[in-house]
Amino acid sequence: MGCFCSYVPEEILVAGNILPVRVLGSHEPQNVTEPYLFGMYCPFCRDVLAQGLKGRYDYLDGITLSQSCLHIRQSFIAWREHVEVPFNYYIYMPNKVQTKAATPYLKTEFEKYKAHVEEVVGKELTDDDLDRGIAALNRNRELMHKVYEYRKGDTPMLTGLEAMYMTVSGMWVDKDEHSAEMEKVLEQLPDRQMIRDTGTRLLVVGSENDDTAFIDMVESVGATVVVDDHCTGTRWFWNSVETGDDRINSIADRYIKRPPCPTKDWEERWRFPHILQLCKDFNVEGAIVIQQKFCDPHECDIMPLRKTFDEANIPSLFLEFDVTVPIGQFKVRVEAFLEMFGVDDLF
Ligand code: SF4
């Protein structure tokens, strides 16, 4: 099942023995989405739709969007109309999560989604099925947390690039298989010898980001990405389902309370204290704030987020992403940013 956002309740899919697959782009220039999406929609959602139009996700049996932003919704709608796929479902995930009504409301929407999944798989999902789905996701999240713990020390035991491979692969691979691989990694991490200097410890934060070439470049010029706030990283896995008798209610509560996307971060700002806590816990020295070009939700956050960093004495660098990232140009900017920390090219 292709998932258009990290707000799709994967627990319900796994309960139905369905493999959730996060639909991501390919970072290649394309010319197939112009008839369906405005050019000023974010490059990520255009890249996503291009993959569908080019048949690169032709193995999907269905697609699901859980409402987050207008751009990805348009991508979903165009896919639904113009790419052949047997099943599709749009979840009315509320953007106003800061109200007592949010969890009961989302529970009713997830009940409807469960009925849809039952139709797809042709059988009823029992409490045991839901328990299995919840347990698989919770175990996977817990293991990712344990791996992230190894990024907190003076010498992080894995790079930001490796962490990105771990989280993004977890969005495509069977959860139990992914968890089994992480258990193997966790056995080896304590004895790992890192043959690189850590350099400046960075947080990356902002729009969707699975650009491995970018992270690799940042880590090649005297820095280590020690933590992130992305929907392909911590925002996706940070909190678990607290199990209760009403499974769907528990799942809904998890998605209401997870670290929010800016589309859902109002009236109070829940994101900023959470991001500052990540900075503290992972001993962050500087932040790279990225925005997919035209990404309205994150664009609106840039000013207050950078002000928050300023007030906490955390220097930040802003970079705007497109489908392809100008690595050479960004390298110069990242190097100039790192000079603030007194770090020369270490590698
Ligand atoms: S990057 Fe921004 S505009 Fe694009 S899909 Fe994500 S939140 Fe929406």
> Does residue 44's CB lie within 6 angstroms of at least one atom of ligand 1?
yes
CA 240 to chain centre: 15
User: Residue range 104-125: average pLDDT?
Assistant: 98
Question: pLDDT for 271-310, tens place per residue?
Answer: 999 999 999 999 999 999 999 999 999 999 999 999 999 9
State yes or no: pLDDT of 347 exceeds 50.
Answer: no
> Does residue 23's CB lie within 6 angstroms of at least one atom of ligand 1?
no
Question: pLDDT for 203-227, tens place per residue?
Answer: 999 999 999 999 999 999 999 999 9
Cis amide prior to 267 (ω within 30 degrees): yes
**Residue 323: pLDDT band with limits 50, 70, 90:** confident
Ligand 1 nearest-atom number relative to CA 298: 2
**Residue 343: pLDDT band with limits 50, 70, 90:** low
Cα separation, 46 vs 324, whole angstroms: 12
Question: pLDDT for 62-90, tens place per residue?
Answer: 999 999 999 999 999 999 999 999 999 99
> Does residue 217's CB lie within 6 angstroms of at least one atom of ligand 1?
no
Tell me how far CA of residue 173 lies from CA of 63, 107, 125, 166, in angstroms: 16, 26, 22, 10
Ligand 1 centroid–CA 229 distance in Å is 14
Domain residues of the chain, as ranges? 2-339
Q: Are 203 and 282 in contact (CB under 8 A)?
A: yes
User: Residue range 138-160: average pLDDT?
Assistant: 98
How much is the pTM? 0.95
Ligand 1 nearest-atom number relative to CA 207: 1
Cα separation, 139 vs 307, whole angstroms: 36
Ligand 1 centroid–CA 271 distance in Å is 16
Cα separation, 314 vs 246, whole angstroms: 42
Closest Cα to atom 5 of ligand 1: 72
Ligand 1 nearest-atom number relative to CA 263: 7
- What is the average pLDDT value for the chain, to the nearest integer? 96
Fold assignment, 2-339: Rossmann fold (3.40.50)
> Does residue 210's CB lie within 6 angstroms of at least one atom of ligand 1?
no
Cα separation, 220 vs 159, whole angstroms: 11
Ligand 1 nearest-atom number relative to CA 72: 5
The pick from 208, 210, 305 for probing ligand 1's pocket by mutation, whose C-beta has the most ligand atoms within 8 angstroms, reads: 208
> Does residue 46's CB lie within 6 angstroms of at least one atom of ligand 1?
no
